[in-house]
Amino acid sequence: MAEIRNRCSKKSAYTLTLSFMSLVIVAPLIGIMIRLANQGPHHQKKTYQVTEVPLGTGVMGQIVVDNADDTIYASNNVNNTVAAVNGHSDAVRTISVGSGPYDIAIAKSTDTIYVANSTYSAAPSSGTISAISGYSGTVHTIKLAFTPGAIAVDQATDTIYATNASQTNMLYAINGHSDTISAIRLGKPMISINIGQQIVINQATNTIYVTNPAGNAISAVDSYTDAVHTIQVGKLPGAIAVDQATDTVYVANLVSDTISVINAITDQVQTINEGSQATYALAVDQTTGSVYGLSVSGEKGITGQGNKLNTVFIINGSNGALRTIKVGRSSNLSGAIAVDQASGTVYVMNNASNSLSVINGDTYAVHTIRLPRSPDAMAIDQTTGTVYVASDPSGYISVIKKIHPLTLKGKIHHNKKYF
């Protein structure tokens, strides 16, 4: 009996030992399974963190990031204010400006934020530009004899350039120190057209490029001499972007469904035929020279836009290969595209599908970030890589921060080369 009892004791000891070992092995596995379940069906860590900052109701115009003090400025063209959001604390300060604020530009040397009080809202324009001090938040008003449309700042000369919303053949240069204004005639008077003019500045050559939709042309202005020469492009030029290293200007022509590629040294123009797609936004990766255009799939020209799938076309800066990628949906040509210049990551705003499409600039693969509201305007902090998206008319800014390395997967359509 004693022998039997001893055997039973040994068996019990073995059973306890195995049970303990099972717990040691199984418990971590259970923990891993719980973590994977919490991470969602794809068992991937969350790549982006999306938070919201309330700004108050109203229609958002544009967003810019002031890298000098990490402040985000968003115009509200219903409440006639600009919201200044602290990039560290998300604290919001509301600044009163003129009537109908929309476009915004920053002078880096003086940390001054210029806001064009234009006609993009139901309220009449005050015909002014509000100059906000990034240091003190005080506002200085620059009175104009016209209604401003688009504005941009030449960082080398501290000159603010503004288009005339009702006269497409005029550009105005405003001295950032004295507020003196000089008029620059861009060409023959043209009938005003309901497509806003765009301004882009090549800081490497101090040349200002202005679209003239009514004249199907681009005006190139020397910022030192105000000399102007005109370059004919396709029908109804809209979006414009410049590769500063090569001095190449890209123009999206909405009616002819083409991209004009301008060698700004020779004024030679090449044309990329996109077929039946209306490109309405452009961006350039200044490191690689790659060009990104945002188009409405299946839409020819600018009529009949609805809830349409966006297409991003990519011109590879090294070999000229032309590729297309399907992303989210937008309506009424109101998406946007921008490049994080440090990482080469491309962000596409899809206002009809409440999302951002994230494109890897090396592999061209795509990731989707779901947003809590419909996006209306977007800006990237080029220092931190944080993306800011304003919602209209809810008055929120979504703050999108990368919290884990991004692995992208997706299909790319390889098409013809354009050069």
206-238 residue pLDDT tens: 999 999 888 899 999 999 999 999 999 999 999
CB 380 within 8 A of CB 387: yes
* Confidence (pLDDT) at 17: 36
Q: Which residue has the higher pLDDT, 2 or 248?
A: 248
Residue 301 above 80 pLDDT?
no
Measured distance CA(61)–CA(105) in Å, rounded: 12
The mean pLDDT value for 326-348 works out to 88
- Asked whether residue 314 is domain-assigned, the answer is yes
Residue 189, pLDDT score: 65
Average pLDDT over residues 303-332: 77
Q: What is the pLDDT of residue 318?
A: 78
Give the residue among 185, 162, 165 at the shortest CA–CA distance from 174.
162
- Residue 296 has a pLDDT of 76
> 289 is written with which tokens?
């020279």
Q: Within a domain: residue 218?
A: no
For the stretch 262-285, pLDDT in tens is 999 999 999 988 655 678 899 999
Tell me the CA distances in angstroms from 332 to 67, 168, 278, 305, one per residue in order. Answer: 31, 23, 11, 5
Does 393 sit behind a cis peptide bond, omega within 30 degrees of 0 on the bond before it?
A: yes
How remote is the C-alpha of 32 from its chain's centroid? 38
89 assigned to some structural domain: no
Number of CB atoms found within 10 A of residue 133's CB = 13
Residue 303 counted as domain residue = yes
pLDDT of residue 226: 93
pLDDT in tens, 54-78: 987 776 789 999 998 899 999 988 8
Is residue 267 in some structural domain? no
Among 99-108, 151-160, 294-303, name the one with the lowest average pLDDT: 294-303
> What per-residue confidence (pLDDT) applies to 192?
57
Higher pLDDT, 124 or 114: 114
pLDDT tens figures, 80-90 = 999 999 999 99
Which alpha helices (H) appear in 241-397, and where do they start and end? none
**pLDDT band at residue 257 using 50, 70 and 90 as cut-offs:** confident
Q: Detail the DSSP E strand segments found in 266-307.
A: 268-273, 278-284, 291-296
Instruction: Examine the pLDDT at 116 and tell me if it is beyond 50.
Output: yes
- pLDDT at site 256: 87
Q: How confident is the model at residue 411 (pLDDT cuts 50, 70, 90)?
A: very low
Specify if 27 maps to a domain: no
The domain spanning residue 289 has which CATH number? 2.120.10.30
Which segment of 1-5, 86-90, 305-309, 340-344 scores lowest on mean pLDDT?
A: 1-5
Token pair 């061209």 in the structure block, residue:
364
Lowest mean pLDDT among 93-97, 104-108, 400-404, 409-413: 409-413
412 lies in which domain range?
277-419
* Comparison of pLDDT for 189 and 160, the residue scoring more: 160
Which two three-digit tokens encode residue 158? 């501290």
What is the rounded CA–CA span in Å between residue 119 and residue 358?
Answer: 33
Please give the structure tokens belonging to residue 84: 């200044």
Across the range 34-43, mean pLDDT stands at: 39
In whole angstroms, give the CA distance from residue 52 to residue 135.
25
Band (pLDDT 50/70/90 cuts) for residue 185 is very high
- Residue 208 in any domain: the answer is no
261 has a pLDDT exceeding 50: yes
Of 64-78, 99-113, 395-409, which gets the smallest average pLDDT? 395-409
Kindly state the percentage of the chain with pLDDT values over 90: 52
Structural domain total, the chain: 1
pLDDT value of residue 125: 59
Higher-pLDDT residue of 368 and 21 is: 368
The secondary structure of 69-115, three-state, reads CCEEEEEECCCCEEEEEECCCCCEEEEECCCCEEEEEEECCCCEEEE
Looking at residue 404, its pLDDT comes to 66
Q: What is the pTM of this model?
A: 0.82
Residue 343 domain flag: yes
Higher-pLDDT residue of 274 and 9 is 274
Neighbours of 380 (CB within 10 A): 23
Residue whose structure tokens are 């104009």: 144
- Residue 269, CA atoms < 13 Å, CB-side half-sphere: 16
Say whether pLDDT at 117 is over 60.
Answer: yes
Q: In the 8-state DSSP scheme, what is residue 44?
A: -
E strands, 304-382, in order: 308-315, 321-330, 336-340, 345-350, 355-359, 366-370, 375-380
Backbone angles phi and psi of 15, in degrees to 5: -65, -40
In whole angstroms, give the CA distance from residue 323 to residue 259.
14
Provide the pLDDT for residue 8: 40
How far apart are the two ends of the chain, measured CA to CA in Å? 95
- The continuous run of DSSP H or E covering 35 comes out as helix 2-38
Q: What is the pLDDT of residue 203?
A: 94
Q: pLDDT of 127-145, one tens digit each?
A: 899 999 999 999 999 999 9
